[in-house]
């Protein structure tokens, strides 16, 4: 009997703390919470950009292969004095039924808020997808990421919505899964040397 009491005394602290609440939040927790609210944040490092290059961000909307609209936003030049050479985009869905997307384009020198209204025929689920990045490109429109419409597929006799990829999407935008996307908003940058 003494042995059993001794073992229970040793094990009781371990049994009492088998599961506890974690109160600290990390960046992954915050990102997941924001995503649940329809907010996404994307940041890109442009610290290697040559001095005095002009930055233009393009927000292009596509219906299949046809360009529906193109909105260029000129952010001026990346001065040598700028310590923080980042570009950031924060997107917010206004409502699933209306599907108006507010885009907050943030540059160290200025901030621009714009919106994309998705036509009723494309108001199915959309998702953000980052494009594989490489070295910084100059004098060329270069894709960063896009917001694409999920497509219908069949799995085990049931219709499902898909937005998944066998391989990453490169800057050339050549990926088999892209052929399934009916509607897309593509965010690109262009750096021009002065």
4-37: pLDDT as tens digits = 555 555 555 555 556 677 778 888 888 788 877 7
Highest mean pLDDT: which range of 84-93, 130-139, 171-180: 130-139
pLDDT band, residue 110 (cuts 50/70/90): confident
Which string of DSSP letters, residue by residue, matches 83-147? S--EEEEEEEES-TTT-EEEEEEE-SS-EEEEEEEPPGGG-S-EEEEEPPP-SPP-SS-EEEEEE
Neighbouring-strand partners of residue 142 = 189
- Torsions phi, psi of 185, nearest 5? -115, 115
Residues forming a β-bridge with 71: 59
**Structure tokens belonging to residue 118:** 């998705």
Supply the pLDDT for residue 185.
92
- pTM metric for this prediction: 0.80
Structure tokens at 91: 């997107």
The number of beta carbons lying within 10 Å of the beta carbon of residue 185 is 22
Q: State the pLDDT at residue 70.
A: 94
Judged by average pLDDT, the poorest of 58-72, 73-87, 109-123 is: 73-87
The number of beta carbons lying within 10 Å of the beta carbon of residue 78 is 22
**For 190, phi and psi rounded to 5 degrees?**
-140, 130
CA distance 152 to 181: 10
Locate 189 and state its tokens.
């940058």
Locate the domains of the chain by residue range.
27-193
Task: Say which residue the tokens 């310590």 belong to.
Answer: 83
Element (H, E) at 5: helix 2-16
* pLDDT average, residue stretch 111-139: 87
Distance CA 52, CA 77 (A): 5
How many CA atoms, within 13 angstroms, populate the side-chain half-sphere of residue 130? 9
């Amino acid at each position: 009997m003494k042995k059993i009491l001794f073992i229970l005394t040793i094990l009781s602290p371990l049994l009492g703390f088998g599961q506890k609440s974690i109160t600290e939040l990390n960046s992954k927790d915050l990102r997941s919470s924001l995503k649940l609210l329809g907010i996404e944040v994307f940041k890109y490092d442009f610290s290697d950009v040559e001095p005095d290059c002009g930055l233009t961000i393009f927000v292009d909307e596509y219906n299949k292969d046809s360009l529906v609209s193109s909105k260029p936003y000129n952010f001026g030049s990346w001065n040598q004095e700028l310590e923080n050479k980042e570009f950031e985009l924060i997107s917010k869905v206004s409502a699933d039924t209306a599907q108006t997307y507010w885009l907050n384009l943030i540059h160290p020198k200025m901030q621009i808020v714009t919106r994309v209204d998705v036509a009723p025929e494309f108001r199915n689920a959309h998702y953000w997808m980052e494009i594989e990045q490489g070295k910084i490109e100059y004098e060329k429109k270069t894709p960063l990421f896009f917001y694409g419409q999920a497509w219908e597929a069949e799995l085990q006799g049931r219709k499902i919505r898909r937005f998944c990829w066998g391989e990453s999407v490169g800057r050339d935008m050549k990926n088999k899964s892209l052929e399934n996307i009916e509607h897309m908003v593509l965010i690109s940058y262009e750096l021009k040397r002065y």
